[in-house]
Structure 1
């Protein structure tokens, strides 16, 4: 039986890409009985009958999935963050990074509109860039013209399933349009009164780009830590994973525990203080989260 990946779902049909061709398929009835919802990004086994009608027979286990937009088996997320209009917010970037890390997705940070900053502003962003690169993150810096960073961004796409994430209004749809102009995704300017953009994309499809597949809609509509447990949070910060191995107590939350290697690293300047403060803020948020029944 051929194996392929669902790249689009529309009106009850699933479009499966396999060995360079796309096949229109329906799901078997037992998927509904088993309460299995097929998602774009699913790796599936399918067959074509004599009338060239396709049927999905089985779906492989997923390594991750998003609820909004509904997509599975994501390899990486490109986080687009403007440094001005709207202003750069390290707290928001770290929230994206934690969500992405918790789903076993590789993050890539893209900072845009650097040319619109003053020299002092550029120096501040360069300092943040060095911090995140020291943590092991890939950081791409671009100008207000999205095209200027396209070559570097496109080099990350080959053989990967990628979603674009980031605050509304930072240029996610503009980046997708620049990567593949025929997409012609709708973009809106930032609302001056609200200081943020409008959501402009309403569907999901995986598009061939530079040897990989890219979702044509921004990811991570919800930025709440709905499923992440408090004891899993330290693993979503690379520097806490590294230094946490040297804490005296196993399962240290790096908050009030004695002989905590993480707190010591913060005091010594080996961990940026703002990252640690963000961690404590997220930890409190998760610990105070109302239980869901």
Structure 2
């Protein structure tokens, strides 16, 4: 039977791309009994009985999956953050980085609205960009009507399935409008009262951009670490993970242990204090989490 990629899911129907065509499919009833829910990004096997009558018969193994947005087999995530309106939050950025790192997704930091930021916001952003680049992250900066945006993103997007994610109002829809003007996604205006944009994206869809596939995602501001254990968190702060082998004790949590290479690096300014503070806060959040019952 033929195989294809789910590129869109709306109201119980799955749109599967196969040999250049998009075929509307239904899921097998047995999927519900087995707790299987096909997701955008899934490679599936389907059975076609007519031009407009096809059923997904098998969902292939996934390398990862996200709950919000509901999408599977993501290669990388463009973490879109604005320098202003809303101001750049390293706490929220680190939270996103931990989540995508824990799922085996490659993060790319994308900063927007540089052209309208003030001197203070630019200075803060430049310091942050310098640090995140130093520890190994790719960081891109964009502005409105950026004619070179597609060319700068092409090497990152080509051959990959990418997700745009970030806080509401940071410019994800604007970014996609620049990449694909024919989409004409409605851009949410910033609510001065709430300090966040209105939801403008109604479903997840994979779109062809620069030789790859990109999914737009609804803006959201809360991320939890339900799937991350206390001892795992240190692995998702990449500069701390590299230093862990130099700690005196194996399994060092970088708290009060003697001979901790991470704490020494913080004191010497090699690890950004705010990154370490965020690590401690996330660790406490995981520690305080209610135990999960099977």
Q: TM tier, shorter chain?
A: over 0.9
How many residues are aligned here? 293
Q: Aligned partners of 1:181 and 1:107: how far apart in 2?
A: 25
Contact 1:63–1:72 (CA<8 Å) still a contact in 2?
Answer: yes
Q: Aligned partners of 2:43 and 2:146: how far apart in 1?
A: 32
Q: Aligned partners of 2:66 and 2:246: how far apart in 1?
A: 34
Contact 2:48–2:54 (CA<8 Å) still a contact in 1?
Answer: yes
1:26 aligns with 2:15: no
* CA displacement 1:71-105 (0-9 Å, x = unmatched): 11111111111111111111111111111111111
* CA displacement 1:179-231 (0-9 Å, x = unmatched): 11222222221112222222221211111212111113336664122222111
Contact 2:199–2:218 (CA<8 Å) still a contact in 1?
Answer: no
Q: Secondary structure at the match of 1:155?
A: helix
For residues 189-204 of structure 1, what are the structure 2 equivalents within 5 Å?
189-204=189-204
For residues 113-124 of structure 1, what are the structure 2 equivalents within 5 Å?
113-124=113-124
Inter-CA distance 220–70: structure 2 relative to 1 (3 Å threshold): farther
User: Counterpart of 1:263?
Assistant: 263
Which stretch has the larger CA shift, 265-274 or 89-98?
Answer: 265-274
Q: Give unpaired runs (5+ residues) of structure 1.
A: none
User: Counterpart of 1:236?
Assistant: 236
User: Counterpart of 2:38?
Assistant: 38
User: Counterpart of 1:58?
Assistant: 58
Inter-CA distance 187–132: structure 2 relative to 1 (3 Å threshold): same
The 4+ residue runs of structure 1 with deviation greater than 6 A are none
Shift of 1:47: 2.9
User: Counterpart of 2:171?
Assistant: 171
Contact 2:165–2:216 (CA<8 Å) still a contact in 1?
Answer: no
Q: Secondary structure at the match of 2:37?
A: coil
TM-score by length of 2: 0.92
Inter-CA distance 55–231: structure 2 relative to 1 (3 Å threshold): same
* CA displacement 1:124-143 (0-9 Å, x = unmatched): 32221110011111100122
User: Counterpart of 2:283?
Assistant: 283
Inter-CA distance 173–188: structure 2 relative to 1 (3 Å threshold): same
TM-score by length of 1: 0.93
Q: Give unpaired runs (5+ residues) of structure 2.
A: none
